């Protein structure tokens, strides 16, 4: 009726707190014409416009306010937030340092400085800024919450807990500090506790998008895909403009096989007209290649644009910033970089390589950037001359550490998988950098000098994939499977012949489901057994069951095995099936090795790209190439012929295991020799090129 500027500001703030940004912007647009001199209203309007990503409008409002209040510190601080939103972090950093110098007791400016330092990867500097803010006001939750968060990211878990324990109760129970503490639990891999905390925070403060994002991440880590999907959907409905939540929803959809819906959510990034984060780019690469959803040409453009941006943050190739030691007469220094140097497929497949390397020819350096510590990591460590933990370093810091180790060849084992550190390679810490083992496609990055595979894996590449890197072919297969702890193969008690698939349920694409149903139609008395780590949820089991029922398979012929604890118990489950069916387009690798190691034949089709030929390579080099189908008809026919042999008893299983164990697939020394050949050749080529 007779509003003052504070009434308008309060209404705008209420709308913003509910995520109704467009309504708030309309309010500000209308009333700023009347209250153009109101600093508080202008400040609120600018913050809202930044939050809504309407940066041009934010610039206009901020400029108008500064013309009236040129020396106002709060408006100058708002200008640094706008600079960050525009991607000018370093310019914002410069201005914030100046503001802190002139306003040393201003808590908000120290917090702002800490945030931009955090964004730029300057974690120690950010920690100092947040500590300064804490000194100004020890009861300010933002300062304590940010201190805990930075300590977590630096791996200073003990220090983070100490900060938390000393806080007054009213500060501890604030939403910001509770969120930081839950984030600390995530860093310590205490996902059940973290999920419980974030669930409560979402109920109390649904207006905070990060609570929804982290809650979703906890459920995904716990393999509760359906819960994660539900959380991501709710989060996006409340915060439709939050890009990270949208990407989380996309990941959840892909995890349950809804890849087309997943990619539709990512259309803004696919236009290449918006700047994307590293996590978003990794997500697009993984989905695009794994499920043939994005053309290789587009993925290449995206990857190289990201690489160019990362490279600009460095100082050029770091390996050249030293005097190289001649390679003649000494062992080559080989670094293996991965977040999965533990009880993970990458760690288990790397183990026979390290065990069989010639220590006189190769000095092995483990470069771990993952959080998991277990018995497999201890075995990997025991075979390395050096072991370096890079988990809590920035990419540039890690690159400098690797460069100082003066490696000859750096082997990156993660690609675009979770927690991978491809950004490290963009700074060229080694003269030769190779991609191997942990990723099923090219990275498309210029900093990768070679992509290791074999003739089968490279046989289905597109032209763009083939030209992305120099292809490095290993003779007789690109991996080694040496599992010394396999239990004796046994057949279960079922009287029915059973096909099965133990791959993660996300690989059960529409194509795979239809193919499996064709097999079941050709063998009408057989059963189909499915097992997935995601079956910890009954909702996920029901979802998969409905997929097959809709595709025409009767529920009575479908058996879903529940999740079992422990790897040996998992391997015993192969006794429940007689023949394994490899899905497509994203086939298996670990599951294929496990199946034939447990005496169970695997049927696959040599598909497109490396992702569609992993099982084909394994079967070829284990002497089981007769199970590689040429097409769908051939796939079904192989299944029918194997079913005619009847239930696979222990003697046949043992015979297959013995055949596999005597093959190239299980010859770790063969693979290590091949890799050493590749390392020597690529290093020599690099040295020769430099001498010119």
Q: Number of helices and strands (H, E) in the chain?
A: 33, 13
Across 482-513, b (16+ Cβ under 10 Å) vs e yields bbeebeebebeeeeebbbbbbbbbbbbbebbb
CATH number, domain 318-480+670-691, options 3.30.420.40, 3.90.245.10, 1.10.510.10, 3.40.50.11380: 3.40.50.11380
The CA angle 650-653-654, to the nearest 5 degrees, is: 85
Interval 330-343: pLDDT, tens: 899 999 999 999 99
Do domains 189-294 and 498-666 share one topology? The answer is no
pLDDT recorded at residue 429: 94
**CA 458 to the chain's CA centroid:** 24
* Distance in angstroms (rounded) separating the CA atoms of residues 201 and 251: 22
pLDDT recorded at residue 270: 80
pLDDT recorded at residue 296: 93
Residues 572, 490: contact at Cβ < 8 Å? yes
* Distance in angstroms (rounded) separating the CA atoms of residues 305 and 45: 33
Interval 658-684: pLDDT, tens: 999 999 999 999 999 999 999 999 988
- For the chain, 692 residues long, the average pLDDT of each consecutive 10-residue run is 85 86 90 84 89 89 88 91 90 95 95 94 93 94 95 94 95 95 96 97 93 96 94 95 90 84 84 74 89 89 92 75 71 96 95 96 96 92 97 91 94 94 94 95 96 96 95 96 91 95 93 97 97 93 95 96 91 97 94 97 95 96 97 97 96 97 97 96 77 56
The residues near 174 (Cβ < 8 Å, ≥ 6 apart) are 141, 145
- The CATH fold assigned to 498-666 is Rossmann fold (3.40.50)
Hey, CA dihedral for 370, 372, 378, 380, is it positive or negative?
negative
pLDDT recorded at residue 16: 86
DSSP string for 108-174: HHHHHHHHHHHHTT-HHHHHHHHHHHHHH-TT-HHHHHHHHHHHHHTT-HHHHHHHHHHS-HHHHTS
User: Domain 189-294 belongs to what architecture?
Assistant: Alpha Horseshoe (1.25)
Residue spans per domain, the chain: 189-294, 318-480+670-691, 498-666
The residues near 236 (Cβ < 8 Å, ≥ 6 apart) are 242, 245, 246, 249
* Distance in angstroms (rounded) separating the CA atoms of residues 445 and 307: 7
pLDDT recorded at residue 547: 95
Residues 497, 646: contact at Cβ < 8 Å? yes
* Distance in angstroms (rounded) separating the CA atoms of residues 248 and 218: 12
Integer angstrom CA distances of residue 526 from 487, 580, 670: 26, 13, 39
pLDDT recorded at residue 526: 97
Q: What is the three-class DSSP state of 628?
A: strand
pLDDT recorded at residue 324: 66
β-pairing, 527-531 vs 558-561, is parallel
pLDDT recorded at residue 276: 76
The closest of 28, 22, 37 to 10, measured between CA atoms, is 28
pLDDT recorded at residue 33: 82
Total Cβ atoms within 10 A of residue 290: 22
């Amino acid at each position: 009726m007779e509003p003052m500027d504070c009434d308008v500001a309060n209404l705008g703030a209420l709308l913003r707190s509910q995520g109704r940004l467009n309504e708030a912007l309309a309010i500000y647009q209308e009333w700023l014409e009347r209250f153009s001199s109101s600093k508080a209203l202008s400040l609120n309007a600018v913050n809202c416009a930044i939050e809504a990503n309407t940066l041009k409008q934010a610039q206009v409002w901020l400029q108008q306010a500064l013309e009236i209040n040129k020396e106002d510190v709060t408006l100058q601080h708002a200008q640094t937030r706008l600079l960050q939103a525009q991607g000018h972090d370093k310019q914002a950093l410069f201005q914030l340092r100046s503001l802190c110098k002139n306003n040393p007791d201003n808590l908000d400016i120290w917090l702002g400085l800490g945030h931009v330092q955090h964004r730029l990867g300057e974690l120690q500097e950010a920690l100092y800024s947040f500590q300064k803010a804490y000194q100004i006001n020890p009861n300010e939750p933002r300062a304590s919450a940010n201190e805990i968060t930075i300590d977590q990211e630096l791996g200073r878990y003990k220090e983070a807990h100490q900060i938390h324990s000393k806080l007054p109760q009213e500060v501890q129970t604030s939403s910001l500090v509770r969120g930081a503490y839950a984030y600390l639990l995530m860093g310590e891999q205490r996902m059940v506790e973290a999920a419980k905390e974030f669930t409560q925070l979402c109920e109390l403060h649904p207006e905070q998008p990060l609570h929804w994002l982290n809650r979703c991440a906890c459920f995904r880590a716990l393999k509760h895909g359906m819960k994660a999907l539900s959380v991501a959907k709710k989060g996006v409905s409340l915060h439709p403009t939050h890009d990270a939540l949208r990407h989380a929803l996309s990941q959840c959809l892909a995890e349950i096989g809804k890849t087309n819906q997943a990619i539709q959510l990512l259309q803004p990034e696919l236009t290449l007209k918006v700047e994307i984060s590293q996590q978003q780019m990794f997500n697009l690469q993984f989905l695009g290649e794994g499920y043939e959803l994005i053309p290789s040409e587009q993925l290449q453009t995206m990857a190289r644009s990201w690489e160019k941006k990362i490279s600009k943050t460095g100082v050029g190739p770091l390996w050249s910033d030293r005097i190289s030691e001649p390679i003649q007469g000494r062992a080559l220094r080989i670094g293996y970089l991965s977040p999965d140097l533990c009880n993970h497929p990458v760690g288990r497949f790397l183990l026979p390589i390290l065990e069989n390397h010639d220590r006189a020819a190769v000095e092995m350096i483990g470069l771990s950037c993952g959080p998991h510590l277990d018995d497999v990591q201890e075995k990997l460590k025991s075979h390395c001359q050096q072991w370096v933990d890079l988990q809590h370093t920035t990419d540039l810091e890690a690159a400098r550490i690797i460069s100082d180790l003066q490696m000859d060849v750096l082997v990156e084992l993660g690609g675009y998988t979770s927690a991978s550190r491809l950004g490290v390679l963009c700074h060229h810490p080694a003269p030769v950098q190779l991609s191997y083992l942990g990723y099923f496609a090219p990275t498309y990055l210029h900093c990768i000098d070679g992509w290791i595979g074999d003739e089968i894996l490279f046989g289905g590449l597109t032209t763009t994939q083939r030209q992305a890197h120099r292809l490095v072919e290993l003779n007789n297969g690109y991996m080694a499977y040496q599992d010394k702890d396999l239990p004796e193969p046994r057949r279960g008690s079922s009287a029915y012949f059973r096909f099965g698939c133990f791959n993660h349920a996300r690989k059960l694409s529409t194509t795979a489901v239809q193919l499996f149903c064709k097999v079941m139609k050709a063998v009408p008395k057989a059963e189909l057994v499915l097992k997935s780590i995601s079956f910890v949820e009954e909702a996920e089991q029901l979802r998969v069951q409905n997929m097959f029922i809709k595709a025409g398979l009767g529920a009575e012929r479908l058996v879903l095995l529940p999740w079992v604890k422990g790897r040996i118990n998992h391997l015993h489950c192969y006794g429940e099936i007689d023949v394994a069916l490899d899905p497509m387009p994203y086939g298996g690798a670990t599951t294929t090795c496990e199946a034939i190691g447990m005496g169970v034949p695997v049927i696959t089709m040599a598909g497109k790209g490396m992702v569609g030929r992993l099982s084909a390579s394994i079967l070829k080099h284990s002497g089981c190439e007769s199970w590689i189908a040429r097409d769908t008809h051939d796939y079904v026919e192989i299944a029918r012929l194997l079913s005619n042999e009847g239930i696979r008893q222990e003697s046949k299983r043992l015979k297959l295991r013995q055949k596999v164990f005597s093959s190239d697939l299980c010859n770790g020394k063969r693979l290590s020799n091949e890799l050493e050949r590749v390392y020597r050749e690529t290093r020599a080529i690099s040295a020769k090129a430099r001498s010119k």
